Amino acid sequence: MESISVSGEVGGAGGAYSYNALKRLDKIWSSICSAQTVQQEPQQVVSNFPGVLSHSALAEKAVDKFDVVVCGGTLGIFIATALSAKGLKVSIVERNILKGREQEWNISRKELMELVEAGILDENDIEEATAVSFNPNRCGFENKGEIWVEDILNLGVSPVKLIEIVKNRFISLGGVIFEGCSVSGISVYDDAAVLQLAEENVLSSRLIIDAMGNFSPVVKQIRGGRKPDGVCLVVGSCARGFKDNSTSDVIYSSSSVKKVGNAEVQYFWEAFPAGSGPIDRTTYMFTYVNPQPDSPKLEELLEDYWDLMPKYQGVSIDDLEILRVIYGIFPTYRDR
């Protein structure tokens, strides 16, 4: 894995491909697993202050005023653009450079058309950002047969292109992007919410939207740092060398529950043709687990993935060129 080129890593889920980033995520995952009920006392990110902003200590500072500030730009750029198109003054605060990941997003055309209806994209943008489309799409479970469907998760969209298109539109509508700025404190007054980015950089807004993803500090505060009830783990790769590459798997389970270390896991797969070439294919292996000290690490799942994926796809690992390795964790809570 260390020998695979990892240029173009970005913020946002599934945007890091290196072995070091995998080890960092496994460390976070281990700390979730070893926590009792509270993972970590959360930082107080949002604080309430009585009174109006003009009577506060921040009143002296030069304040940029917005109708809406969107925190987190990966999907946040879409809501920010929709609100800008309605004539609101909107800004985005993103801790990294706002850029889509190299690895395609798989999505259905119907879902993208909702962005057209919201005035964020036009149909030409969809054509421009679509790297590949494929049909039919398989759902299947071990010994239970297969169901083939059409037009479900049947597009591979380039996040790099899609976000670039929307970013340009947002800026042309008057939107402002603060990149390289991490949200660490939001002060809520009677008439405005305030985000202090740096000593002299203060944004005030009528509404602040949290689009900081699974690891949002605002969500951590709301949940009191509570350990997730379950976690979906995913590992996978985009690789070159699949001769049979015209259809996709939306969900496919080819094996029963198995033991990994002391934990029991049920693996299920997704597989999609990739836009980078006719024999390039993305395969993901997922499982849901309870976060416990003996839960499998991502690196262990990856070992299983290299063993199981060739059989699942009917290929030999020696015939594949691995373009990138992909991984992620999705915390889940019973009470949403």
Ligand X SMILES: Cc1cc2nc3c(=O)[nH]c(=O)nc-3n(C[C@H](O)[C@H](O)[C@H](O)COP(=O)(O)OP(=O)(O)OC[C@H]3O[C@@H](n4cnc5c(N)ncnc54)[C@H](O)[C@@H]3O)c2cc1C
Q: Which residues bind ligand X (CB under 6 A)?
A: 11-14, 71-76, 93-96, 105-107, 182-183, 211-214, 217, 234, 326, 328
- In whole angstroms, the minimum distance from the beta carbon of 327 to ligand X comes to 6
- How far apart CA 107 and CA 92 sit, in angstroms, is 24
CB of 162 to ligand X, least distance (A): 11
Closer CB to ligand X, 40 or 256, in the complex? 40
Cβ proximity to ligand X, 52 vs 97, nearer residue: 97
Report, in Å, the least distance between residue 201 CB and ligand X: 14
Q: Which is nearer to ligand X, 27 or 55 (by Cβ)?
A: 27
84 vs 91, which CB is nearer to ligand X? 91
* Terminal alpha carbon distance of the chain: 35
Q: At its nearest, how many Å lie between ligand X and the CB of residue 50?
A: 26
Nearer Cβ to ligand X, position 214 or 316?
214
Give the nearest distance from C-beta 307 to ligand X in angstroms.
19
